[in-house]
Amino acid sequence: MTAALAATALMALLAGVGPALSPWPGVSALGLIAFLVGGAGTLARIVPLATAGGALALIGYALALGAEQPASHPLAGVAIGAGLVLLLVLTHLAARTGGAAFEPAAARLLLWSWAPVLAVGVLAASALVIAGALVAAALRGASLPAVVAIATLGAVVAAAGVTALVTAAGRPAP
Amino acid sequence: MTWRPTTLNLSLATLLGWALLLGVLGGRAELIVAAVPLVVALAAGRRPRPAAADWQVARHVSRDRLVEGERVTVTVTLRASGRREVVELYQPLPPHVRLAEGRHHAFVVAGEHREVRWSFELSCAGRQRLRLGDLHLRRWEPLGLAAAESVDHAISDVSVYPHVTPLRRPPSPARTQTYVGHHVSPAQGEGIEPGDIRPFVPGDQVRHVNWRATLRLGALHVTQHHRERNADVVLLLDTLADVGPPGDSAVDRAVRGAASLAAAYLARKDRVGLIEYGGILRQVRPAAGRAHWERLLDTLARASVVFTYVARDLERIPPRVLPPQALVIALSPLLDGRFLGAATDLAARGFDLLLVAVSPIAAARALAGGGAVTDLAARLWALERRAELDQLRARGLTIIDWDGVEPLEAALAVWQRPRQRRVRA
């Protein structure tokens, strides 16, 4: 139950990021829907619902960024990415441990196991930000189509890598 | 153990795709950066995992025999040699068994030769042959992105016996056997139950002289005694049809009555046999002793309704299972006419038959719940049943009506066989 409540709180934070950036009613409505859908998923321990809530929160955040066009804050992106990972992992944990006896030692061990993954994620994102800044400096004189092409290539490579990772093994466990 | 990715990978990939798509479409670096922790998490789920450690799983059940309503403690001991990790243990529960204490699903930390003990208590609502089957063990990747499952196929059997109520005075048989027992035989001989008085004849023992009669009649008279002998009792259990909630159905109540009767007769040194008259005709030939009591309980624990269209013929049961001199006590909810036909046939063949009619009405009401319609139906059913029992009594059957709730002894107390005394010269 603790994991489900923590995931719900995290869902509320993620859903609130977009409305906090932009006062546009559409973003607020999307944030509310994201919280309702994702909160239902975290409380009912249904991972696909929590995923939908996270995706809606991400869309709301993107809309807010598009509407307000604030200065770039890569750290906010890192926090949102880590928050999304934690949201899904906590909801999945709550779903598989529902009704089971859970040793406190197991909870401690899990937290200790998650910490390095999150740390690596934050470091990788920071490295990407630095690399991006370097690439931006290198492409300062380049034309717009070249920048878009390089960005698309990067996205396609990332998507292909993830697809390869996910589909490499057999069918998912129940 | 084979590691398999879980559906959490798809969820992470979905969010990753959204982050990248929105980042590219919106041209915002934050969204691209937000995708990085998702990529790292997915990559962490794909990293090589340690090979299967040396797992030792043992399951111990505190008792292999218990009476319905009692609890049994199941303890699972797990020891692994690998690094410490979170392990999920799951023991599926058989039907009609509920968890009394603890959980049958647990997450524990195993590894580094640490012995983990996990226990829970089960309560069995009704008699049954309880079989604890496969124990599932699942190792999880820390984020939950992959899992490896194995199954321990050990089987633990627990016999849940019916509850036995002590009976002080079970129905006495009309005929006795040759071995010493607790029933007063009509035949004369050595015993403590006084019979008739007759004149003294050479060979009579002096301790049998009835001095009061001798003084009154002016000649030596002796008191004769009845022998105390054992009897053969055969319990005929009707399992053709049943009604009521699991663990407290009409057949369950009949089984409790049969177990109580068997215990009472075995305590009196009688030989007790059992015939389960249903879809499967199970038989236990009459015998006595502790081992036989266990055999009867095992058979009663397994007694169940197996649907059949076939009417079993009791004539095919060999005399060693159904001795001609035996007292046959039939326990039936009288829901199926075939059993009534078999019981009537036994009585017509000269068997000493006593029919304990276990009322199914209370069991059916427990299943149907309350309500005015249910009450009305139950009252009508009770009237019909009473009329049916009266008809059977008019046909010469000896019937004891038992509602299955009150003590069987109270129901048996209303019927006492007239004492038979016969002294042969």
Read off the pLDDT of residues B344-368 as tens digits, 9 standing for 90 and up: 988 888 899 999 999 999 889 888 8
Residue B283 neighbours by CB under 8 Å, 6+ apart: B273, B274, B275, B276, B317, B321
Q: Is residue B422 part of a domain?
A: no
Residue A46 neighbours by CB under 8 Å, 6+ apart: A40, A91, A95
Q: Is residue B187 part of a domain?
A: yes
Q: Is residue B173 part of a domain?
A: no
Cα torsion angle, B333, B338, B344, B345, sign? negative
Domain match, B382 and B259 both: yes
Q: Which residues of chain A make contact with B44, given a CB cutoff of 8 A? A: 117, 120
Residue B191 neighbours by CB under 8 Å, 6+ apart: B184, B185, B225, B226, B227, B228
Q: Is residue B396 part of a domain?
A: yes
As a whole number of angstroms, the distance between CA B329 and CA B90 comes to: 45
Mean pLDDT of B179-204: 82
Of the pLDDT bands very low, low, confident and very high (cuts 50, 70, 90), residue B423 is: very low
Q: Half-sphere exposure (CA, 13 Å, Cβ side) for B148? A: 16
Taking the CA of residue B34 and the nearest CA in chain A, the distance in Å comes to 4
Q: How many domains, in total, are found in chain B?
A: 4
Question: Does residue B153 surpass a pLDDT of 50?
Answer: yes
Question: Does residue B326 surpass a pLDDT of 80?
Answer: yes
From B213, B229, B245, the end of a domain falls on B229
Residue A46: what are its φ and ψ, rounded to 5°? Answer: -115, 110
Question: Does residue B56 surpass a pLDDT of 90?
Answer: no
Beta strands at B232-239 and B221-229: parallel, antiparallel or unpaired: unpaired
Domain match, B359 and B408 both: yes
As a whole number of angstroms, the distance between CA B68 and CA B129 comes to: 11
Domain match, B202 and B132 both: no
Domain match, B224 and B90 both: no
Residue B105 neighbours by CB under 8 Å, 6+ apart: A99, A100, A101, B88, B89, B90, B91
From B161, B191, B219, the end of a domain falls on B161
Residue A144 CA: distances (Å) to CA of A69, A73, A156, B27, B33:
19, 22, 18, 12, 21
Q: Determine, for residues B36 and A170 on separate chains, whether the beta-carbon distance falls below 8 Å.
A: no
Mean pLDDT of B43-71: 81
- Quick: pLDDT tens for B272-288: 999 999 888 899 999 99
Of A114, A132, A165, the CB nearest to B42: A165
Domain match, B238 and B100 both: no
Q: Which residues of chain A make contact with B41, given a CB cutoff of 8 A? A: 85, 89, 117, 121
Q: Is residue B292 part of a domain?
A: yes
Domain match, B60 and B135 both: yes
Domain match, B25 and B79 both: no
pLDDT of residue B57: 86
Secondary structure E strands in B200-244: 221-229, 232-239
Q: Is residue B132 part of a domain?
A: yes
Q: Determine, for residues A103 and B35 on separate chains, whether the beta-carbon distance falls below 8 Å.
A: no
Q: What is the DSSP string of A12-42?
A: HHHHHHHHHH---HHHHHHHHHHHHHHHHHH
Contact (Cβ atoms closer than 8 angstroms) between residue B140 and residue B49: no
Beta strands at B105-110 and A101-102: parallel, antiparallel or unpaired: parallel
Beta strands at B271-278 and B232-239: parallel, antiparallel or unpaired: parallel
Quote the mean pLDDT of chain B: 87
As a whole number of angstroms, the distance between CA B151 and CA B1 comes to: 9
Domain match, B71 and B157 both: yes
Q: Which residues pair with B328 in a beta bridge?
A: B234, B353
H helices present in A69-143, as ranges: 74-97, 104-138
Contact (Cβ atoms closer than 8 angstroms) between residue B340 and residue B353: no
Domain match, B151 and B255 both: no
Of the pLDDT bands very low, low, confident and very high (cuts 50, 70, 90), residue B402 is: very high
**Least confidently predicted of A168-172, B21-25, B234-238, B315-319:** A168-172
Mean pLDDT of B19-48: 85
Percent of chain B with pLDDT over 90: 35
The CATH number that applies at residue B84 is 2.60.40.10
Mean pLDDT of B371-381: 91
Q: Which residues of chain A make contact with B23, given a CB cutoff of 8 A? A: 62, 155
Report residues of chain A scoring pLDDT below 50: 171-174
Locate the domains of chain A by residue range. Answer: 2-167
Question: Does residue B425 surpass a pLDDT of 50?
Answer: no
pLDDT of residue A173: 46
| CB within 8 Å of chain A, chain B residues 68-107 | 84-86, 88, 90, 102-103, 105-107
pLDDT of residue A169: 56
pLDDT of residue A135: 78
pLDDT of residue A171: 47
User: Containing domain of residue B32, as a range?
Assistant: 3-45
Domain match, B208 and B274 both: no
Domain match, B254 and B339 both: yes
From B229, B256, B289, the end of a domain falls on B229
| CB within 8 Å of chain A, chain B residues 293-312 | none
Most confident of A17-26, B146-155, B383-392: B383-392
Contact (Cβ atoms closer than 8 angstroms) between residue B176 and residue B230: yes
Q: Which residues of chain B make contact with A96, given a CB cutoff of 8 A? A: 88, 140, 144
Residue A17 CA: distances (Å) to CA of A31, A58, A62:
8, 9, 10
- Quick: pLDDT tens for A73-109: 888 888 899 999 999 999 999 998 888 888 888 888 8
Of A54, A103, A166, the CB nearest to B9: A166
Q: Is residue B350 part of a domain?
A: yes
Nearest-CA residue of chain A relative to B87?
A: A106
Q: Is residue B424 part of a domain?
A: no
As a whole number of angstroms, the distance between CA A164 and CA A171 comes to: 14
**Least confidently predicted of B93-97, B237-241, B398-402:** B93-97
Q: Determine, for residues A62 and B17 on separate chains, whether the beta-carbon distance falls below 8 Å.
A: no
Enter the DSSP assignment of B114.
B
3-class SS at B75? strand
At which residue do the structure tokens 């209370």 appear?
A: B362
- Quick: pLDDT tens for B71-114: 999 999 988 887 888 888 999 888 888 888 989 999 888 888 88
Domain match, B92 and B154 both: yes
Mean pLDDT of B256-270: 93
